[in-house]
Each structure stands twice: as C-alpha cells, then as structure tokens.
Amino acid sequence: MKKLLLLASICILTLAAPRPTQDDFNACFEKNKDSIVSVNGNYGIAITPELIAVVKNSDTAINDYVKFDPFLGLYLVKSNQNLHVPDMVDENDDTKFNKATWVATLSDSNASIMGHVKAFGSTLGDFDELNFDVNITAQLNSACCKLVGLAIGDNKFIPVRYLKHFAAYDDVYYGDIGVSFTENETGFYVASADPLGRGKALMPKDKILSVDNTAPKGIRWLNEKVLFAPKGSILEFKILRDNEEIKLFIPVSGEIKLKDNSIDEISPKVAATLDTLTSKNTDIDAYGVSLGEILLPWGIVVDKELIVTKVIEDTPAHAFGIAKNDKILQVNNDRVKTYKDMLEKIDKQSSFLLLFTRNNFDFFARVVRER
C-alpha cells in the first residue's frame, strides 16, 4: 500500500517529478501482472476483458486467433476467461503524458529498465521510440502504473493508440485517403494527393485549417486523425485555397462506386457555363457536336488539345478531383490527341472511361451521361 501511495504522489507532481525507483515499478508489476498473458509461448497483454494482443515470434505458432496484423507483428487472440486490463495513458493529454514522463518495462526480477520517450511516430510506418536500450518484449508502464505500450525490441514500442485500434475491428483496418501532409512556420499543408485516392478533392498547397472542427496539433495528429478514423466515417476538412475557405467532406472508408459520378441534373453553375460556351465559343460547335453535351455537365471544359482549362465547382469532376491542366490521353482503350478524336470515340456512348495525365501520373475517371 505504501508503494502505491508513493506512486500516486509521483503522478500528481508536475514535469519536475523525481526519478522513480525500481521498487516503484515493481509495485506496478504487482498491480498489472495479471494483464500479462502467455499464449503458446508468445508474449501477450490484455487490451480488453476478452482480447489479448500477442507478439508473433519465430519459435511457436498461433493457430487460433481473431486476426494478425503484419505491420504491428501482433495477433489478436480471444480469451475464454475474463482478463485484467491495465489502465492506459491518455496520449492526447500532453500535460499527463509527454517525453518527460518516466516509463519502464515491467519485470518480476527487479530488473525494470526505465527512461523516457525519445520520439513519437508520426505515420503508419513509424513506431514510437525510447531513449534507453530495450531489446526485449515487455509491457511498458508509466510511473503511475498506466500502460504506455508494448516494447518490441530495438528501443521501439507499439503505443496504446495502436493497441486500442488493433482491438476495435475483426479485420486489419487503417484509414487512408491517399494524402500526405507537411508543416512549415505558417501552418499545415497538403503535400500531395493521389488523384485516385479518397482525398482527391484536396490539392497540394491547400492549407489545413481544421479537421472535424479541430485545428491541427501536428503532423502526427493529422496522420492519425485519418489512420484511426472509425470505419465508415467522413472527415470534414476546412482548407484555405487561393485565399478562399473551403469545406471538403472526405470518406475514410467504404466502397466508392462509379455511379456516384453520374449526372442526375445540371447545376445552375454548369447551366450558366454551358450557355456561355455554346453562344460565344465557335470551337464548341466546330465538329457538329457540342462539347458541353459530352463533358460539361460532368464539370469539365477542355481545349482542342484536350487540356482541361476549367473545372466547375459543385460538379462530379470537381468532387472527383479533376484539376486545371490535366490532359486527356485516352477514351476507353483508344488514344486521342485532339478534340475531334475524342468526339469521334465518344459518339453517343452513355458511359466512357477517360485516361488523364497529371505531372507524369496517369489516372482513370469514368463519365456517365444521360441522353
């Protein structure tokens, strides 16, 4: 009891808390030892009352498991007994858990190794890193006896945010919208966006003002807002583009169907642009078929060389992520070089596939039109 009272006093102190002792972490081991579970010789810890995160090793196999995550190197195993789950640190509270927080591996041999967090991983490919030598698999605790993560050797550990996400689904799932972010002294920006990804409506140099009404707290926060987004969720990005604030709603998961690009009705913006082009631009009717009847309701205006000159807001093409200066290379499986080529290949088709190129990156987009 005295040891636990001492731990409580350490946890109440600020960042100037004294270095914990071996006895302090021995007390943590006594408190949380029932959460350490061996599964066929593999080290595991309880992360819910029914589920164990088990580290894969090369010596013994596990045949009965819920799932295996090759990135984490973990099995998720269901227990037929009610498990003791340790309290977990709140990684989002910088005042309670940060790089100055003392952490240690738990051991029943009075040999806990302690130190601090050296670095927090910021992307899916980064584990969190310790500033002291740990080359064993072990539960990692704070001096408050709260679970910090699972040490996996090489001074790396799997943090609790990954363990919680690992237990949340029966399959291996991470959010992905195909967007990378960068930071400079003026804020957070889109570095790149895959034209075929879910975040294709975002564009390089867009400034990220908020995600789900919260201002970005860092690159790690931005990436993990996507990585750990619940299945089926839609993230609201508020961005600054060309000095204009824009809201974009980005689906993190779920099937994207081509029929979502179909045209049910022409928006007022499209109708106005169509009227302007057909009345003032002789190129539109040069070959007997109005370009507006083919691509404009979808939201695209191209020139004679099939380079996109305009993408109209609130249209399928705008939502898809088509951008000015994209170039059309192909209709279905046929190469096209001119406006006339494209009209001949499209003819009266109600649906066709366009191959675009952008900065040496080629991508497809389907146009569905009504006749």
Task: Write the DSSP assignment of 163-194 as a string of letters.
Answer: HHHHHH-SS------SEEEEEETTEEEEEEE-
% residues pLDDT > 70 (the chain): 83
Class of residue 93 by CB neighbours under 10 A (exposed 0-12, middle 13-18, buried 19+): exposed
Residue 180 pLDDT > 90, yes or no?
A: yes
* 285 DSSP assignment: G
* Coarse DSSP helix, strand, coil percentages of the chain, rounded to the nearest 5 percent: 25, 30, 45
Tokens representing residue 299 in the block: 């939201």
Q: Which of 266, 298, 297, 304 is nearest to 282 (CA)?
A: 304
The tokens 């045209």 sit on which residue? 263
**220-246: pLDDT as tens digits:** 999 999 999 998 788 889 999 888 888
**280-335: pLDDT as tens digits:** 443 433 333 344 446 777 788 888 788 888 888 877 888 888 888 999 999 888 88
Strand order in the sheet with 128-130: 114-115, 103-105, 137-142, 147-153, 156-159, 128-130, 117-119
Average pLDDT, the chain: 82
Residue 179 pLDDT > 80, yes or no?
A: yes
Tokens representing residue 282 in the block: 């002789």
pLDDT band for 263, please (50, 70, 90 cuts). Answer: very low
List of domains in the chain = 2-168 (2.40.10.120), 179-251 (2.30.42.10), 258-368 (2.30.42.10)
Q: What is the pLDDT of residue 289?
A: 35
**200-227: pLDDT as tens digits:** 888 899 999 999 999 999 999 999 999 9
Residue 279 pLDDT > 50, yes or no?
A: no
> Helix (H, G, I), strand (E, B), or coil: what is residue 346?
helix
Return the higher-pLDDT residue of 318 and 270. Answer: 318
> Do 56 and 75 meet the contact criterion of CB atoms below 8 Å apart?
yes
**337-364: pLDDT as tens digits:** 887 788 788 776 777 888 888 888 888 8
**128-176: pLDDT as tens digits:** 999 999 998 999 999 999 999 999 999 999 999 999 999 999 889 999 8
Q: Which of 361, 357, 256 is nearest to 316 (CA)?
A: 256
Indicate the pairing of strand 117-119 with strand 114-115: unpaired
